[in-house]
Structure 1
């Protein structure tokens, strides 16, 4: 039997599905299209009120590794039952010293599931709790693990360097989503980061057909969670400056989040209700239509006060694929896709004046919109095709040492 027939990968995620993590779903769908067997293991149930339509296309089964009642007797019973599946479990528990008991419990559940289901490899997204569980389960079940490091899990003030260093060191390989991240991890973690390589997140380009932005209404769009790192307060401020210059336009901001009330208040204080609207979250198909009907997408990302920041926002990739010219900032990996005056316009962080000038430039210059959008689409096709990038990821999975496992029947 060929490797294609037997090789099965367990995807380990903190929550599944998540409205904001379409990149994970696109990756799984690309693997499935190539014939790779996937099973999804989620540590928490979903909490979003909205979900993206592409989730319905995923064939992989989902198993929730829920961890609630962990009184001593309960945990002891879990260990006793698990040792029947994992005979070496008792001797391997030392690796869990200092870890959260719920993470250990979920790792034991995952290791048992991996053995019972014939999972040959574990891959986690984000180097936080999902990777903690994958790392422990890898040790317990004697199968390799890899993980993708994004942004918050690298840069946020809550990141514990010793913990991340262990995960980098113990993984069979590590993927990160930008050269900026790769360089940072190498400089910060040295030899522990020797197995890190960059693979960009990607898009299924068949879902994002290009359309010229030459004849678009004077509409600005912003898409993302309404949180500090997205910088939407600067977009609202820039819209106020544009209006003061006599421009007639509309701006739609798509998304939900903790700063919704603050942004509503800002819009009202500036009396921008007639031209700036928060329209809440939308399914992906509708977002595609909204983005492709706009003259410009603004992503004024900033590094948050808690050091949180974006990696490469998926919406930038989507807008560039669709033919909508983009404005953004120099946060982490964004300059790798948005190259100033080549594939978009770059403005400084926290600078509403510069943002307003860039918006004015694109709203008033159709030829520039077409020039930037054409070059942007070429870059997306070259570097951000999900089928090419997922194929690279599969080579990493298969290069990891595989322990022969017999599925328990």
Structure 2
């Protein structure tokens, strides 16, 4: 039997987590299986290939030997903490992806992550933050630097073909933003920036795609600023629908910021998708985003929580449409070279090789 990587997820993936699913099922050198803490009742947003409920496995050591498991890959820090005791008990290397909040050393997150990762730092085999920024955060939390390797998330280029954009001479100008409606996505800052933009460019409309606990606060601010006719929140969408939204939009903006509890981004995949599709992008100097976007070369970066400068970034592209192709062509090259899913899957398997060699 082919060498097997067992991917561990504590809970069902959300519709916006296709990037995690791709990392699990698109292996070539290794056979993937999925182990989870939930029943497969058919409601999962993606097909669960070779799925095993943790409670149904029985003797884990015999199961691992039968499946020829060379490592377990947990796709979030908190998931890793759950599966760690089994890995230690049966001598199975544990690989851990770190994606954002789970790697934060900011504010309350520092104390929480230091405490819950005390054993993981010692026994984990490999830690894969999605950007250099998070790699530095892990070092601050006390993770061994020699066990840390950055693995950038890749996107499916065929879903997001490049198309040069122009600002229409008449009709609506669509500014698009996508993400879970949580504090670190900065949607309140974006709405304030949009209020500034509309004062100068009244044809603009804002579409915010996503769902989450901040929706009520976002809608309240939209109403307070008199923006209800010009801001739409249609809810969460799958990858295909998001690709269609990007094809219809004229500009993309994500106002990511550090949340009061220390929650942070890695590098949001929607920014990569927007850059791949040819949309001019405006975002913030937050977490790993500057590793993706070079200010005034492949996009425009504003300071966190600065709605005035964010509005300036949006207005820059609205008022200098002839410069947009200079940005977007370079942005597409960055995605093809560094954030291409096919290339990143090869790098992921190369990192698996480092661990698999030690288990022979």
TM-score by length of 2: 0.90
Distance 1:112 1:280, change over 3 A: farther
- Higher alpha-carbon Rg: 1
Pick the aligned partner of 1:117 from 64, 67, 74: 67
Whether the 8 Å CA contact 1:218–1:363 is kept in 2: the answer is: no
Matches within 5 A, 1:26-37: 26-31=22-27, 34-37=28-31
Distance 1:168 1:112 in 2: 26
Aligned twin of 1:202: 154
1:334 is displaced (CA, Å) by 0.4
RMSD: 2.5
SS at match of 1:253: strand
Q: How many residues align?
A: 352
Cα displacement string for residues 248-302 of structure 1 (whole angstroms, at most 9, x for unaligned residues): 1111000110011111121122221221111111121111111122111110011
Aligned twin of 1:264: 219
- Residue 337 (structure 2) pairs with residue 377 (structure 1): no
Extract unaligned runs of 5+ from structure 1.
68-80, 86-109, 405-409
Aligned twin of 1:38: 32
Pick the aligned partner of 1:220 from 157, 172, 175: 175
SS at match of 1:123: strand
Which of 271-280 and 333-342 deviates more?
A: 271-280
Cα displacement string for residues 16-73 of structure 1 (whole angstroms, at most 9, x for unaligned residues): 3322322211222431xx25311111224699x894xxx34x6x22223359xxxxxx
Extract unaligned runs of 5+ from structure 2.
none
Distance 1:322 1:50 in 2: 28
Distance 2:39 2:174 in 1: 37
Aligned twin of 1:19: 15
Whether the 8 Å CA contact 1:10–1:39 is kept in 2: the answer is: yes
1:144 is displaced (CA, Å) by 1.5
Aligned twin of 1:297: 252
- Residue 10 (structure 2) pairs with residue 10 (structure 1): no
Matches within 5 A, 1:86-97: none
Distance 1:111 1:273 in 2: 57
Cα displacement string for residues 210-268 of structure 1 (whole angstroms, at most 9, x for unaligned residues): 11113566110110011111001111111211222352111100011001111112112
Distance 1:264 1:66 in 2: 42
TM-score by length of 1: 0.80
